[in-house]
Structure 1
């Protein structure tokens, strides 16, 4: 029960870390496009950014769960095989006494486990921000965009656009034949239609 209570106590810190990672990813992505995303984000956008990222990409959820499971299983294998030479060498390299009992080893390895998971998640989110930002920037420069929405603004003129992102107050998009990113308040767009993907 104490172990579960400790995990429950760490959950808010874990969510705060995910929020920071979501902000970092968005900032890196939009920085490459010349936009300071924090100026266009509300508190709600910041709080839901990690959940929105994970919900929009099931692969990201699978990767995060896989990373956590991998490090957890690795920790269990090390503890079970603490008497073997390879485990003793590995634990010795981290200055951990392999002769400790199971509970003592678990207490020692849990902070290392969380540190490894947090570093892996940091690398994942930063990599996603750099990768997505550079891909979008390159596609805008070469005009190699798949226009995925049609918007109708106050002028009632429908326009095909490539939607970069949407938050609670702004649309970020590129219109067909243009290399400049437009930022439109949600209230200025009358209609948003998904272009059929055949």
Structure 2
């Protein structure tokens, strides 16, 4: 029961870490496009950014879960075979006491497990931000963006656009045959339709 209470007390810290990672990813993503996303984000956007990043891409969820599962399985193997010489060398390299019983060893490995999972998430979010931002910037410079939406402005004009992102206040898009990223308030857009690119 104490273990469950400890996990519950750490959940807010974990969520704060995810929020920081979401902010970092968004900032890195929009930087090559010359946009300071914090100027265009509400507190709601900041709070839900890690959840929206995780749920918008099922592959991302699978990668995160599989890496965490691999760390967990590695920890189980280390504890199970802690009496083997090669495991003892690994434990000594992490400055862990090799004379602990299995239960104490499992508890001693939790901070290392949390650090590895945190580092994995940091690398994943930064990598996604860098990769996606640079990819859009290169396609924007070479005019190879596939326009994926038809945007109807408040005045009734229908324009094919590449939609970069949406938050609760703004649309970020590029019009066809332009290299400039446009930022429009949600209220200024009349309608948006998906272009079927099959």
TM-score class, shorter: over 0.9
SS state at 2:33 partner: coil
Question: In the alignment, what sits opposite 1:80?
Answer: 80
Q: Is the 8 A contact 1:82 1:99 kept in 2?
A: no
Show structure 1 runs of 5+ residues with no match: none
Check conservation: 1:151, 1:192, Cα contact below 8 A: yes
Please say which of residues 148-157 and 40-49 is displaced more in the overlay. Answer: 148-157
Give the structure-2-normalised TM-score. 0.98
Per the TM alignment, residue 169 of structure 1 is displaced from its structure 2 partner at its CA by 0.3
Alignment of 1:157-168 (within 5 A): 157-168=157-168
What residue in structure 1 maps to residue 22 of structure 2? 22
Aligned to 1:98, what secondary structure does the other structure show?
Answer: coil
Q: Distance in 2 between matches of 1:150 and 1:83?
A: 64
The aligned counterpart of 1:11 is 11
Q: Which secondary structure state, in structure 1, belongs to the residue aligned with residue 155 of structure 2? A: coil
Secondary structure, aligned partner of 1:32: helix
SS in 2 for 1:53: helix
TM-score, normalised via structure 1 length = 0.98
| 1:118 corresponds to 2:122 | no
CA distance in 2, matches of 1:149, 1:142: 19
Which digits, 9 at most, give the CA deviation of each residue in 1:97-155, with x for residues without a partner?
Answer: 11101121122110011001101110110010000000000000001011000011122
Q: Distance in 1 between matches of 2:147 and 2:135?
A: 15
State the aligned residue count: 198
> Matches of 2:98 and 2:130 in 1, distance apart?
40
Q: Provide the rounded CA distance (Å) in 1 between the counterparts of 2:73 and 2:7.
A: 17
* Counterpart in the other structure of 1:191: 191
* Structure 1 residue ranges (4+ consecutive) displaced by more than 4 angstroms after TM superposition: none
Supply the RMSD in Å over aligned alpha carbons: 0.8
Q: How far 1:7 sits from its partner (Å)?
A: 1.4
Q: Which moved more, 1:98-107 or 1:135-144?
A: 98-107
2:86 matched to 1:89? no
Q: State how 1:113-192 maps to structure 2 within 5 Å.
A: 113-192=113-192
For the residue of structure 1 that corresponds to 2:152, the secondary structure is: strand
Tell me the distance in 2 between the aligned counterparts of 1:73 and 1:10.
Answer: 22
* Structure-2 separation of matches of 1:179 and 1:67: 38
* CA deviations over 1:13-72 (Å, ceiling 9, x no partner): 111111110100000010111000000000000000011111110000001111111111
Q: Structure 2 unaligned segments of length 5 or more: list them.
A: none
Q: For 2:144, what is the secondary structure of its paired residue?
A: coil
SS of 1:132's partner is helix
